[in-house]
Amino acid sequence: MKIVVLAGGLSPEREVSLTSGSLIANALIENGHRVLLLDVYEGIRALPEEIDSLFCSKPIPVHRVSDRVPDLDAIRTASGNGDALIGANVLALCAAADRVFIALHGSMGENGQLQATLDTHGISYTGSGYVGSLLAMDKEISKQLFVAAGVPTPTWVTLKVRSGEREIPDAIGLPCVVKPCDCGSSVGVSIVETAEELASALDEAARWCDRVIVEKKIVGRELTVGILHGETLPAVEIIPKEGFYDYRNKYQGTTEEVCPAQISESVAKEAARLTRLGFDALHLGEYARFDFLLDAEERLWCLEANSLPGMTPTSLLPMAAAAAGISYRALCESIVKGDRN
């Protein structure tokens, strides 16, 4: 197959995506496919006469994630693309492929905009469709759907911080967790203990999104459960060496992951059940990952869904797949050949 792997983009998770994309591309090349790793934001301005020559079968360099969120303004300036989210000739190159593997994280790669655009051009792609992508990316909507489906999620309030909304109800109180409504990779997330910390946390989250989620802090073990073609994978426990599972701890090897998680059979079954409930409630397709907290009374609380889980060396879906006997190459092959709902 000829496969375009779409990565990069104008998103705080750009570097994570480029790392995922380069690894996916190499796995697919090893599987015998011809692959083009394409930055959806940069595009390719000058195409050769033979577009097929851009699809390669030789390994490509692997991108490495730094410990800092990328400077998007500097990227805009350097590229000259401004706020255009899809770069030159991207859609033409996607149309020339047999399949597009979406390796984007955050922004229009996960909120349904890209999926809707590819749909209108009749281009086949991996992962969830535009509806599921939108529902999962918007934390306010996804939490509302979790409640309706019977998936426990921490009590929350949504604030439009840029419009002056900053008060949190007593039902949440302190400590609490503050996060942008539509970012991933823990970008803009803060654990708040005091009123003074709350003010700065709201400002930080509002840098990334006008709507800010403030939710009751649940103390417990961090678990995540992947789902692939309707089948749940072994749960992973996440144990940061310090602090919480933020952007740095996610990608700099400062977190211990245990897979399968050392949890009781009843908790494992309940986590799988809630994952399937959430997957259906959000109309997701092919694969996803759900994040939970397990409190002292062994109650599970769903924090969020990830419609395009990371595929970096430290990412959790590949780890869970490996525990189920699915190699990284086999995982990529399964996704690229899967049927999207």
Q: How is the chain split into domains, by residue range?
A: 2-125, 136-153+219-337, 156-216
Residue 111 pLDDT: 93
Q: How many helices (H) and strands (E) does the chain have?
A: 12, 13
Q: Return all residues near 246 (Cβ < 8 A) that are at least 6 apart.
A: 186, 189, 240
- The superfamily (CATH) of domain 156-216 is ATP-grasp fold, A domain (3.30.1490.20)
Helix (H) or strand (E) holding 155: none
Q: What is the pLDDT of residues 94-109, one digit of tens each?
A: 999 999 999 998 889 9
pLDDT band at 182 (very low <50, low <70, confident <90, very high): confident
Q: How many other CB atoms sit within 10 Å of the CB of residue 140?
A: 15
Residue 340 pLDDT: 44
Q: How many other CB atoms sit within 10 Å of the CB of residue 210?
A: 15
Mutual orientation of helices 130-137 and 139-149 as an angle, nearest 10°? 100
How buried is 8 (Cβ within 10 angstroms: 0-12 exposed, 13-18 middle, 19+ buried)? buried
CB 22 within 8 A of CB 61: yes
Look up the CATH number of domain 136-153+219-337. Answer: 3.30.470.20
Q: Enter the tokens of residue 226.
A: 């992947």
DSSP3 helix / strand / coil % (the chain, rounded to 5): 35, 20, 45
Residue 312 pLDDT: 81
Helix (H) or strand (E) holding 173: none
Query: So which residues are the catalytic ones?
Result: 13, 185, 251, 289, 291, 304, 306, 310
In this structure, whether the domain defined by 2-125 belongs to CATH 3.40.50.20 is answered with yes
For 23, 101, 180, 261, the CA distances from 224, given in Å and listed in that order, are 22, 23, 20, 9
Q: What is the pLDDT of residues 266-314, one digit of tens each?
A: 999 999 999 999 999 999 999 999 999 999 999 999 999 999 998 986 7
Residue 253 pLDDT: 53
CB 236 within 8 A of CB 314: no
